[in-house]
């Protein structure tokens, strides 16, 4: 892994961009305005480049810096099961934020499939949006 001094601020920026880049993800008026001006992310590679690579690096080798460690995705045996990276993308893990509210089922499947077939990974059993839907945390809102 490489060491980068300002990696935490980059990851924070990536998280903020995710809200602006995900279709229909604006929670505030300003985020909605930005989302309306942004192009949709067409595939897993685009999602990775715009959201994930600022922490996991363009080559997927991860990084260490600013008191944080960002795991390598390159050659990562934890990616053998598609459910593991999908769970992490949806729910977050450690210092990684959750993206369940920002990425739809198709986008999660796309980025997981991209990571599992790139960076020295050769897991070709594709995750489907239906699989993601079953894993997605379902929040219930109680009425008063």
Looking at the structure of the chain, the number of domains it has is 1
For 12-54, the pLDDT digits (tens) are 444 444 444 444 444 344 444 445 555 688 899 999 999 999 9
Please count the other Cβ atoms lying within 10 Å of the Cβ belonging to residue 95. Answer: 13
Q: Is residue 140 included in any domain, yes or no?
A: no
* 3-class DSSP state of 78: helix
Contact criterion met (CB below 8 Å) for 62 and 72: yes
For residue 144, tell me if it sits in a domain.
no
* DSSP symbol at 93: B
Helix, strand, or coil here: 82? coil
Which range marks the domain in which residue 82 is found? 2-135
**Segment 49-79, tens digit of pLDDT:** 999 999 999 999 999 887 888 999 999 999 9
**SS3 call for 63:** strand
- Global pTM exceeds 0.85: no
């Amino acid at each position: 892994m490489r060491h980068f001094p300002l990696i935490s601020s980059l990851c924070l920026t990536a998280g903020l961009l995710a809200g602006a880049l995900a279709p229909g993800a604006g929670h505030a008026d300003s985020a909605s305005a930005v989302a309306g001006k942004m192009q949709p992310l067409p595939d897993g590679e685009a999602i990775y480049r715009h959201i994930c690579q600022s922490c996991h690096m363009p080559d997927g080798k991860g990084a260490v810096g600013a008191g944080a460690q960002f795991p390598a995705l390159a050659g990562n045996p934890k990616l053998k099961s598609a459910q593991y990276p999908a769970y992490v993308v949806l729910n977050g893990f450690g210092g990684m934020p959750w993206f369940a509210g920002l990425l739809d089922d198709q986008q999660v499947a796309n980025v997981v499939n991209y990571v599992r077939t790139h960076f020295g990974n050769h897991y070709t059993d594709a995750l489907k949006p239906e699989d993601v839907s079953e894993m997605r945390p379902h929040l219930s809102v109680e009425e008063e």
